[in-house]
Amino acid sequence: MAVMNVSALSLKTALSSNFPQLPSGFCYNTMLFGCIDFSWKTRRDPVLARLSASQFAPKSWGPRQYPMEYGQTSRPHSLRSCRVESKDSEGILSSESIMLDEQTLEQNLQIAIEQENYAQAAKIRDSLRVLHEDSKASVLAANARFYNSFRTGDLATMQALWAKGENVCCVHPGVSGISGYDLVMGSWEFVWADYEFPLMIELKNIEVHVKGDIGYVTCMEVVKTKGSNWGRQFATNVFERIDGQWFMCIHHASYIDL
């Protein structure tokens, strides 16, 4: 496929004609395209070459057609304190199922230490550890679902994995960030259009971190499509807990040359 040398002006013209519904003042550069040395980047990467084409117009873009799960609306979600249902564990917590939040546990831990109530402090510390490990496992499970949908080209699963709102962001390798649920989903459909699935994806150097309702995973993606060599990207995947479920809100992948 020939690679187009597309200027920022021609990109803006093509996008504005294809998407008249975009608001005035829309920042086209932040939508997808890092136009500095753009022709060099497109020669380097066939996926980026496709993204640079002026006919960038996934047919699914338009009014929202994604399934609204977990009672959510399309508005951006605000951050909320971490809440999970906890049960008895060797007397650490009450026998009743209660709602705990990480911030309250940390405050109670500090109070117990200041009061030199070290037995209580040890119990709270153990409760925090269980809470934190459960959250990390849930974030890793959400991350695994993301890569399974990536590997198989499962757009419906990808749509369900992402938080619904204009605050979500996706950065495909070599281009600028795309913001907003509809544009992010359209970009996945467009990138996958010429792939033959399943893809070969290996993850290395996986690390997970959680604080409250925000968790993130860093890893190296090793990806191979049919007829291509292995490519490596460093990825950061950020998740937000919404109504007890972890949803992706940021995916950022960058090339690794070394």
Q: Give the pLDDT confidence of 83-117 residue by residue, as tens digits.
A: 333 333 333 333 222 234 677 888 899 999 999 99
CA distance to 92, 103, 211, 212, 252, per residue, from 169 (Å): 40, 27, 20, 20, 8
Sheet holding 169-171, edge to edge: 178-179, 169-171, 245-255, 231-242, 214-224, 200-211
**pLDDT tens by residue, 162-203:** 999 999 999 999 899 999 999 999 999 999 998 899 999 999
Please give the structure tokens belonging to residue 42: 């497109």
**pLDDT tens by residue, 213-230:** 999 999 999 998 887 878
- Residue 61 phi/psi, 5-degree rounding, is -70, 145
The pTM for the full model equals 0.59
pLDDT of 29 above 80: no
pLDDT at res. 229: 79
pLDDT of 147 above 90: yes
Q: Which overall architecture, per CATH, does domain 60-258 show?
A: Roll (3.10)
CB atoms within 10 A of CB 252: 18
Residues of the chain within CATH 3.10.450.50 domain(s) are 60-258
pLDDT at res. 68: 35
Residue from 250, 221, 243, 239 nearest 136 by CA: 239
- Quick one: 148 exposed, middle or buried, by C-beta within 10 A (0-12, 13-18, 19+)? middle
Per-residue pLDDT averaged across 63-88, rounded?
Answer: 36
- Concatenating the DSSP letter of every residue in 32-52 gives T---TTHHHHHHH-HHHHHHH
